[in-house]
Structures are given as structure tokens and as C-alpha cells.
Amino acid sequence: MKVLIPGALRSYTRHAQVEAEGDTLDALFTDLDRRYPGLRFRVVDEQGQLRPNMRLFVSGLGVRDMQHALKPDDFIAVVLALSGG
């Protein structure tokens, strides 16, 4: 499936959009980390939870559950949450 990578993480992938596989978001990020070492740690913490500053959209739906089931035709967007004042 296609995964949109934010600019801040493109140093890992060198591409704005990459391909990856997985039945769940957790499996997808395991596959991404195999292909692009270090990427998973920037998105998922040591407890397997999505980091607070990250947002994931699965075919347009905001998802935080790393066990969320994926379909082969899903489009995943990784987005950095903006903060500040």
C-alpha cells in the first residue's frame, strides 16, 4: 500500500511516498522500519504507541490505534502535528 511520508522523515526514505505492507498499522511500520531503518522509532514509541506529535490517516480517517486493520488498497498518510503558540 502507499504511504505518504512527511518532509521531516524523508531523510529516512528519500521519497515523499513509499510502498509498504502490513495487516495492521503496527505491521506496516515494522515493514517500513525493515526498509528504512530508524523510521518506526520516530513515529512509534517504546511501548508500541503512536507518538503524541504524530497523526496517521488511513484512507482519510484519523487513526491512533496501532492495531487498526489495513486493506491492501488503503492509503496511509503520516502527518506531524503542529504545535506552538
In this predicted model, what pLDDT tens digit does every residue of 7-34 receive, in sequence order? 999 999 999 999 999 999 999 999 999 9
The reported pLDDT for the residue numbered 15 is: 97
In this predicted model, what pLDDT tens digit does every residue of 40-59 receive, in sequence order? 999 999 999 999 999 999 99
pTM above 0.75, yes or no: yes
Going from N- to C-terminal start, the domains of the chain cover 2-80
Closest CA to 3 of 21, 14, 18, 23: 18
The reported pLDDT for the residue numbered 81 is: 81
Q: Cα separation of 1 and 45, whole Å?
A: 23
Q: Domain 2-80, what fold?
A: Ubiquitin-like (UB roll) (3.10.20)
Q: Cα separation of 51 and 56, whole Å?
A: 10
Closest CA to 19 of 38, 6, 4: 4
In this predicted model, what pLDDT tens digit does every residue of 59-82 receive, in sequence order? 999 999 999 999 999 999 999 987
